[in-house]
Structure 1
């Protein structure tokens, strides 16, 4: 988006301008961005920035109504742009989200052993919640979590800076939607998969923690306090201490078992 300066584009899209243009170039030739009528569409870049804004916001801020007023488009257009971008991103999935080859597994095991002193490991798994704004209408109680909110249970597999899809990969995603039928659940899963693809495409891009300064950190505070980590320290140090705690716990358990 040439009208936005670098800092504004980073805040809107949560990525650098180079990364934004690269992702736009990967999806711009998707058939969905070709108009079937004489009326031209908005450019793929314009549609992408709308979708990225919705992906990166939570609660009412990500609603199609508020997004439509922000970008000066109709609610239906905001929804249409988002769906087009999701479909275009999903077309990249097989090349972006995949399990490692046998040779790559050897490299990963070596790298993890070198970095974490954890032998014969090819990845780390963790579960998290894709938070739902509302209680699903169908079997809604099944979505209620121990943290007293409605969410989709997901599982992450990550290794040496590269993420592969198991059910999903690790990231915080909030979906503002009513779950009243099977199609709604399908759309929620597709939304999450699109965010996974973006995550993997942006692994080498610059990330600024201030982009999340207003996010709800209750989960991190609960997890940190459970293992005795000081939540006032920076994210990198806190993450390192948590990883070290888990590694030492697993190694101790394995030694006792042997």
Structure 2
């Protein structure tokens, strides 16, 4: 039996990268010695110093350490967790540039995967604010025994660890401003280590949290969830198994039709 070949250690010295374009997931693309480099936190036209964080036979993965020459579209990320959190990847890009990038990516996907060129493109729908526009997300929940604490957040970039956040500026404020109260709630529940995720969704008139409970909740936890919903004006749902088991516990509802969230697209 042949021995598994050991991976060569990654270079410790920063690498100079000249960014040509963006990948579909928002990473800068550079090239060196015929090999593609995907660089987190870099924009087209920029020259950056970056740290190697991964290497494959056909490409390398890097993280920007320093911007030597910046692009006009660069901005200071408004979120303090932007460099670590994987919830969003373009906060270093201006809002207008983000929208243009997303439209270009959609055009490319239509052409590449569907062979389609739409006859007409309508103007992008824009949020009144460049923050607080995201209405749906899945938040990870994890109890860290070494810290004796519950973490709530998105996975770190290129990592399975959760980012320890206390707010999210991109989420609708009805959810984004309640990350820390949500963490405190979960930490105080008997099921603190049996709820691996909380899905959130916002309509025009209501916002909801769906708790994925792996076990039946004790009455005390059930009441804590209801009080949380009352205090923060949130609809509270449980999901003990698959998607078809999702049901609302607050406010009480007379039927499924009354549980739906909705929003307008003007």
TM-score (norm 1): 0.24
The structure carrying a bigger strand percent of its residues is 2
The structure carrying a bigger helix percent of its residues is 1
Structure (1 or 2) with the larger CA radius of gyration: 2
TM-score (norm 2): 0.24
Q: Larger relative CO (CA 8 A, sep 6+): 1 or 2? A: 1
